Amino acid sequence: MRLRLAAAVLLSAAAYYVYLPLPSGVSEPWKLMLLDALFRSFMQASDVAHALGLCHRVRLLDKMVSWVEVIEAHSCSAVHVTDSVLGGVPTRVFQPKRGKKLKRGVIYFHGGGWALCSARMRTYDLLCRKMAEELDAVVMSVDYRLVPEAVFPAQYHDALAASRAFLSPQVLERYSIDPERVCVSGDSAGGNLAAAVAQELGSDDSLTVKFKLQALIYPVLQALDFHTSSYQQNQAVPILYRPIMVRFWLQYLGADPSLEPLLLANNHSSLDQPALSAQTRSRLDWIALLPGERKKHFRPLVRATGSPEVVDKVPALMDVRAAPLLADQMVLGRTPKAYVMTCEFDVLRDDGLMYARRLRDAGVTVSSDHYEDGFHGCMVFSFLPMKSDVGQRSMNNYIRWLDQNL
């Protein structure tokens, strides 16, 4: 009897910890709750270790994620998989064994807030393996440096170095990649790096080979407004809560974590910030850039007075290499044809939607995929044990677009 009572109490406690009220439209909410409970457990353990001075919270969190996910490179009947180096950056390479002699090429940057995950994770390995096989493409998944050992612009420099090497005649010839059919892609923080690389290389007239496509999966693109309609709507929706995204940004930019409350309150983008011109503000004006159905009833939070010293302390907040949404129209217009995926229940939804609009205004052809039941990170949850319906749909549509356009 006591055992049954104890079991009931433990089960109730577990259910209480796992259960989270979610918007009614979220795909398979219980799977998202379980995933969130696991991630919250990892984060809380990491916070405790950090508070005790045992190690940096990010390092422990990444180790726990890696312990669950990282796998060795192994080939199969359809794809040859090896760990290599691209432009001095560790990279996992996926080469189809059959198909045409001259292959398509994709360079991919994983997500994880510039601090977590790896090209060697099972989910990214399976994604790139599937892309290589179905697209008959050489896929190179880059392991750029991570927080806390590296901060901006180290991750950007790794992504740029790997991309330049990817486009070099030597690499294209070695892997039999068609120079007319190459793409840069990434999800979340990796989408940020892919967009920044597409801007830099699109404006580089010294290159003989340029990307034909850029494919951005729920990218993070700006850190000046944490009260867009999607940040307001989804601030408490897992797995990317608003405060966690702010923490990721501060870590990436090497900034003081005590600035978090100021960023959460939009004090860093108040009207008394001399560094923020009207032109800069127009590039993330979601009232003007978003369609009405996404703005809903939400209103901007623009403070008259705030904390003008924040931008001085963290100048990278204004750096287009970190925040590609702030780029000039002329720079955007020289980037390749684009694919932008967004999810309704994602704080980053409006970053992607605003970027797609700005690209179109600059004359770039853009294909948009929006998932009304999607949440941040859903595409990598396309395989067991966290296989989700929206994950499979988004992955299949992403690969289909690449197949039709690359």
* Catalytic site positions: 188, 346, 376
Q: Which burial class, exposed, middle or buried, applies to 206 when counting CB atoms under 10 A from its CB (0-12, 13-18, 19+)? A: exposed
79 phi and psi angles, rounded to 5 deg: -135, 130
List of residues 6+ apart from 118 with CB closer than 8 A: 66, 69, 70, 110, 112, 124, 143
CA distance 161 to 155: 10
CA distance 301 to 371: 26
List of residues 6+ apart from 108 with CB closer than 8 A: 119, 124, 128, 131, 139, 140, 141, 142, 185, 186, 190
CA distance 6 to 17: 16
Answer yes or no: are the C-beta atoms of 94 and 79 closer than 8 Å. Answer: yes
CA distance 385 to 61: 20
Judging by DSSP bridges, how do beta strands 177-187 and 103-109 pair with one another?
parallel
b/e per residue 57-85 (b: at least 16 CB within 10 A): bbbbbbebbeeeebeeeeeeeebebeeee
The first and second tokens of residue 296, run together, are 């809903």
- Tokens 């990218």 -> residue: 219
- Residue 172 host element (H or E): helix 169-174
